[in-house]
Amino acid sequence: MRALVAMLLAGACLSACGGGSMSEPAAPPAQPAAINFTVFTKTLLRIQSDAAQPTPVATAQFAFPDNDNPQAFAGVLPAI
């Protein structure tokens, strides 16, 4: 009787493991490409509509190629 209980207990424990497979693990989700901040901002500044929809940026990954360029927005901003 003890052997039967031990076998049932072992079977229950092993079946609860889910029986792992030998397949490859799932690939991590792909990271979105970086968005050029200068191009993105220039596009937003050119929108001149009061009815324009907000642009979602919560999950955006920006790249800053013009980080050290003081003239990056000279074409879209008025001179002061």
- 10-44 pLDDT, tens digit each: 666 666 555 555 666 777 666 678 889 999 888 88
Q: What does the mean pLDDT of the chain come to?
A: 76
Residue among 6, 69, 5, 4 at smallest CA distance from 36: 69
The secondary structure element, H or E, covering residue 63 is: strand 62-63
State what percent of residues in the chain have pLDDT above 90: 2
- The pLDDT value given to residue 5: 59
